[in-house]
Amino acid sequence: MDEKNFNEYNQEEMTEKQIRILEAAIKVFSEKGFEGSRTSEIAKEAEVAEGTIFKYFRTKKDLLLSLLFPLSIKFLKPFVMKSAEEIIERGKDKPPDEVLRELLMDRLKLIKKNIPLIKTVAIESFYHDELLEPIKDKIAPQVINILDNYVDAHKDNGDFKDYDTRLISRSLMSMLMGYIVLSSILPEYFSLYDDEEEIKKIVDILLNGIKR
Amino acid sequence: MDEKNFNEYNQEEMTEKQIRILEAAIKVFSEKGFEGSRTSEIAKEAEVAEGTIFKYFRTKKDLLLSLLFPLSIKFLKPFVMKSAEEIIERGKDKPPDEVLRELLMDRLKLIKKNIPLIKTVAIESFYHDELLEPIKDKIAPQVINILDNYVDAHKDNGDFKDYDTRLISRSLMSMLMGYIVLSSILPEYFSLYDDEEEIKKIVDILLNGIKR
Amino acid sequence: MDEKNFNEYNQEEMTEKQIRILEAAIKVFSEKGFEGSRTSEIAKEAEVAEGTIFKYFRTKKDLLLSLLFPLSIKFLKPFVMKSAEEIIERGKDKPPDEVLRELLMDRLKLIKKNIPLIKTVAIESFYHDELLEPIKDKIAPQVINILDNYVDAHKDNGDFKDYDTRLISRSLMSMLMGYIVLSSILPEYFSLYDDEEEIKKIVDILLNGIKR
Amino acid sequence: MDEKNFNEYNQEEMTEKQIRILEAAIKVFSEKGFEGSRTSEIAKEAEVAEGTIFKYFRTKKDLLLSLLFPLSIKFLKPFVMKSAEEIIERGKDKPPDEVLRELLMDRLKLIKKNIPLIKTVAIESFYHDELLEPIKDKIAPQVINILDNYVDAHKDNGDFKDYDTRLISRSLMSMLMGYIVLSSILPEYFSLYDDEEEIKKIVDILLNGIKR
DNA sequence: TATGAATGAGTCTTCATTCAT
DNA sequence: CATGAATGAAGACTCATTCAT
């Protein structure tokens, strides 16, 4: 990274070895944290020599910042593709709860497939501004924009109440994140049903509230 | 810590210097992460010699584990004191939305006052089982128990629907956590109103949902 | 060392750098003692970076324990090779005093060439059981066995009196060690003649005693 | 010590606490070596506060050098008192082997009672010239002088052969030291009989040799 | 006089990074 | 390109020594 911003990586010029290193880094970083990880362990995990890492990534920090690339590839791309339009399009002939369930279920699966990557980027962004900035500037806007569009569409067609759009978007994210985080850290307390059932109840509460 | 479990620390046998070190550790750990923090910096922050840290805390890791003590003191004690009974008691002559607002507002203030401590313990518990265990065994049960009691009381008197108690508790936590985390990381997107107003809307959504 | 016992080192798999470190360690340890030595000084003496030491020897203690290898190589191997048989063989056509002189002279030269190594291992074995054990189990038995064989042969052919074999072996060692130690620490008192002459007199006393 | 030479200590101006510290130091030094010993452990052993040690001995090194005082008190004084004259006096009406046995037995007991002190001073004198010098200049001459006198007396009256006096003295020391050191380090090999019997055989060999 | 809390210089050891092969 | 031996700066931790009480 460094001078190049992470978009420049979008060219699929990554060698197989480079990808292996990046994936090893995701694994090790997510298990030990960035500072707690050793380049030697990443090298072993990637089955390359330690020196090879530094052929592709100038520093260990570079390796961390480069995680933004797989993050946007794996996470953002499908997010964007299955975009608001599509969801709303299909939503026209379905009740809003069903659409919302589909949407959250889809995101849940996507997140669960990429927990180590997301966990690492999320946590390390607290400590490294160089990581936080691109998230703020590139990734968050896209995610938020899609959610906002979805919410706006439902507000427009009268499905949702007239809350601030962003408040509703945040509520969706909160409920999904809360489920993922709490049920994974404290499964004995918070892992109640299977994902399908959980999402159903979450959507129910989100739409109708808990008050009788 | 060592052999004693953290409850044994409840005796206020801490010297002023020990407290200063612990507070410096909270500050530095929360800014740099545990592994990224230097004992030299903690010493400077606490205005003690580096060696003094190790008089009180045998290792740097010990210092981390000792954060469980202020966590339970600062965070759990008032949580327990303003207990379910009190809340429900006062709740009898008030509408449930007002009670819930008070409850969340109170927790929000408490959390916001202790962000660095909570952030550190939360994040580092991913990487240090010795930290996770006491949280799972001692702290989480107490917090969850109080919430559950509150929710059960409202279910019993017909205020809340008949969802699984734990699901409702989790929803309360999710919405509060989601607000705190998202509005602090991405304030330009998610810091919408002042805390008072935010809590009001969060409670409104929780109770009544977003569906028109 | 670690799990492997020191015999496994017998493969000459040592790099030149490893040997240089070991020799530097012998020098510095013998001058300052193990605890009084600094790894930084050993590194300088070996002309390697301090970190390099720890590539080959996991800890400073490991470096000490590894001295057993050169000790058995340099000291035991020739001891064993010029073995009892050879000495006795040659002894057949020579008077016993001449043979004993040759034997002690030979050992004296060997010891004097390796004073720093022997001194270090001897002294540090007081303080480190991991060092003492292999000496007791591997090295001492071999040395003693050779001496015993030599003594027994002379007892058998009537040269020596019928003392306990081990008593005679010990007397040989005592007289040699006593000479080496006393004449090196207090040369002004105990360095009387040259080695050749000293050994001659020592053998004379050992064989015939001091009583007129 | 430092400026004062160790004779100045001869004034029995030592407090009970000072003595306790010195004895604790002997114990700990002999078990761990000087550099391997901690002043904290010596303080605990002496049942005084750590700071108290430094009231009496300016530095840890001072504590080591001060061992010369008990060494000369405990070891030299009786050596000198039961002096050559006395031994020779009594020796007049006894055969020389009996006298030698008594002499060595007496020294053996004295040494065995003070092993930790002697071991420490002996070993540390390799590494600290400040310790070696007084030994060379004050202690060794006295011990050697007594031995020499004893040997000379026996040479004069025709008991001993006409070897160099110092050579005979050294042989006595070597045989005694060799027995003590070897039978304590490798008792399974070299601890053959009880002290009385050992000394008898040692004297026998010294006087008459091993040759038939 | 005796204490022991506090100090900080000094130690071993780790680990990201370099570079000759 | 890839390697991995070598580096040395930096870190956690120790411990002799000081000093206020």
What pLDDT, on a 0 to 100 scale, did the predictor assign at position A6? 41
Contact yes or no for C206 and D207 at CB 8 A: no
**CA A56/CA A65 separation, integer angstroms:** 13
C-alpha–C-alpha distance, residues D26 and D113, integer Å:
13
User: d(Cα B115, Cα B129) in Å, to the nearest integer?
Assistant: 21
Touch between B and A (at least 3 CB pairs under 8 Å): yes
pLDDT at A4 over 90: no
**What's the token pair of residue B196?**
């008072």
Which band of pLDDT confidence, cut at 50, 70 and 90, is reported for residue D2? Answer: very low
User: Are D66 and D22 within 8 A, CB to CB?
Assistant: yes
Provide the mean pLDDT of chain D. Answer: 88
Question: In this structure, what token pair is assigned to residue D195?
Answer: 């002290």
User: What proportions of chain B, in percent to the nearest 5, are helix, strand and coil?
Assistant: 75, 0, 25
Contacts for B153 with CB less than 8 Å, ≥ 6 apart:
B84, B88, B91
Cα C1 to chain centroid, rounded: 20
Task: Considering only the beta carbons, identify the residue of A36, A167, A177 that sits closest to B174.
Answer: A177
- Are A166 and B212 an interchain contact pair (Cβ–Cβ within 8 Å)? no
Length reported for chain D:
212
DSSP state of D211: B
pLDDT digits (tens, 9 = 90+) for B34-87: 999 999 999 999 999 999 999 999 999 999 999 998 888 887 777 666 655 676
Q: Which of D210, D178, D208, D183 is nearest to D194 (CA)?
A: D183
Which residue of C205, C206, C207 to mutate against D (max D Cβ within 10 Å)?
C205
- The pair of structure tokens assigned to B169 is 């508790």
Q: Give the pLDDT mean for B160-170.
A: 95
* Residues having Cβ less than 7 A from any atom in strand F: A 15, 17, 48-52, 54-55; B 37-40, 50-51, 54-55, 58-61; C 15, 17, 48-52, 54-55; D 37-40, 50-51, 53-54, 58-61
Contact A180, A199 (CB under 8 A): no
Tell whether the model's pLDDT for residue D91 goes beyond 60.
yes
From the CA of A99 to the C1' of E10: give the distance in Å. Answer: 67
Angle at alpha carbon of residue B45, lines to B42 and B49, rounded to 5°: 70
Q: Which pLDDT belongs to residue A25?
A: 97
Tens digits of residue pLDDT in A87-141: 667 767 788 888 899 889 988 998 999 999 999 999 999 999 999 999 999 889 9
Tokens at B116, concatenated:
């660095």
A151 pLDDT above the threshold of 60: yes
The residues near C172 (Cβ < 8 Å, ≥ 6 apart) are C100, C104, C147, C151, C206
* Higher per-residue pLDDT: B12 or A42: A42
Residues with Cβ within 8 Å of C210's Cβ and at least 6 positions away in sequence, in order, are: D160, D161, D163, D168, D171, D206, D207
pLDDT of residue A192: 87
Q: Among candidates D123, D120, D3, D133, which has minimal Cα distance to D70?
A: D120
C193 and C170 in contact (C-beta within 8 Å)? Answer: no
Q: Using an 8 Å Cβ cutoff, are C197 and D164 in contact? A: no
Contacts of B181 (CB under 8 A, 6+ apart): A177
In the numeric block, which tokens belong to residue D26?
A: 């002997």
Question: Do the chains contact at C33 and D159, CB–CB below 8 Å?
Answer: no
Cβ pair C188:D136 closer than 8 A: yes
DSSP code per residue over D73-136: IIIIHHHHHS-HHHHHHHHTTS-HHHHHHHHHHHHHHHHHHTHHHHHHHHHHHHH-HHHHHHII
Is the CB of A30 within 7 Å of strand E? no
CATH pick for D6-65 out of 1.10.10.60, 1.20.1050.10, 3.30.470.20, 1.10.3720.10? 1.10.10.60
3-class secondary structure for B141-201?
HHHHHHHHHHHHHHHHCCCECCCCHHHHHHHHHHHHHHHHHHHHHCHHHHCCCCHHHHHHH
Residues 6+ apart with CB under 8 A from C7: C72, C138
Spacing of B49 CA from E7 C1' in Å: 6
CB C166 to CB D190 under 8 A?
yes
- How far does the CA of residue B168 sit from the closest CA of chain A (Å)? 7
Q: Which fold has domain C68-208?
A: Tetracycline Repressor; domain 2 (1.10.357)
Half-sphere exposure (Cβ direction) of A78: Cα atoms closer than 13 Å: 13
Strand E positions closer than 7 A to protein CB = 1-20
Neighbours of chain D (3+ CB pairs under 8 A): C
- Shortest distance, CA A109 to any CA of chain B (angstroms): 19
Question: In this structure, which amino acid lies at residue C191?
Answer: S
* Number of other residues whose CB lies within 10 A of the CB of residue C121: 26
From the list D177, D169, D185, the residue with the least C-alpha distance to D107 is D177
Who contacts B9 (Cβ-Cβ below 8 Å, separation ≥6)? B66, B69
Q: Is C158 left (phi over 0), alpha (psi -120 to 50) or beta?
A: left
Q: List the structure tokens of D29.
A: 């030094």
Locate tokens 């001459």: which residue? D141
Closest CA in chain B for residue A189:
B166
Residue B52 beta carbon within 7 A of nucleic strand E: yes
D121-170 pLDDT tens trace? 999 999 999 999 999 998 899 889 888 988 998 898 889 999 999 999 99
What are B58's two structure tokens? Answer: 């045998």
Q: Is the pLDDT of residue A3 over 60?
A: no
CB D17 within 8 A of CB D81: no
At B35 the pLDDT is 98
Residue with tokens 């407290």: B19
CA of C81, closest CA in chain D: separation in Å?
A: 22
pLDDT tens for chain C, 212 residues long, are 333 334 334 445 789 999 999 999 999 999 999 999 999 999 999 999 999 999 999 999 999 999 998 888 877 777 666 655 676 677 777 888 888 998 899 889 989 999 999 999 999 999 999 999 999 998 899 889 888 988 998 898 889 999 999 999 999 999 999 999 999 999 999 998 899 999 999 999 999 999 98
Least confident window among B54-68, D3-17, D84-98:
D3-17
d(CA A70, CA B3): 43
CA of C58 to C1' of E11 (A): 16
Give me the pLDDT at residue B13, please.
75
In C20-150, beta strands by DSSP E: none
Give domain limits for chain B. 6-65, 68-208
DSSP D6: G
* Interatomic CA distance for residues B117 and B140, integer angstroms: 16
Residue D129, Cβ neighbours under 10 Å: how many?
A: 9
- Asked if residues C163 and D210 have their Cβ atoms less than 8 Å apart, the reply is yes
pLDDT given for residue C146 in this prediction: 86
At residue B130, the pLDDT reads 95
Residues of C in contact with D167 (CB under 8 A): 192, 201, 205
Nucleotides of F under 7 A from a protein CB: 1-20
Nearest-neighbour CA in chain C from D163: distance (Å): 8
**Statement: residue B29 has pLDDT above 80:** yes
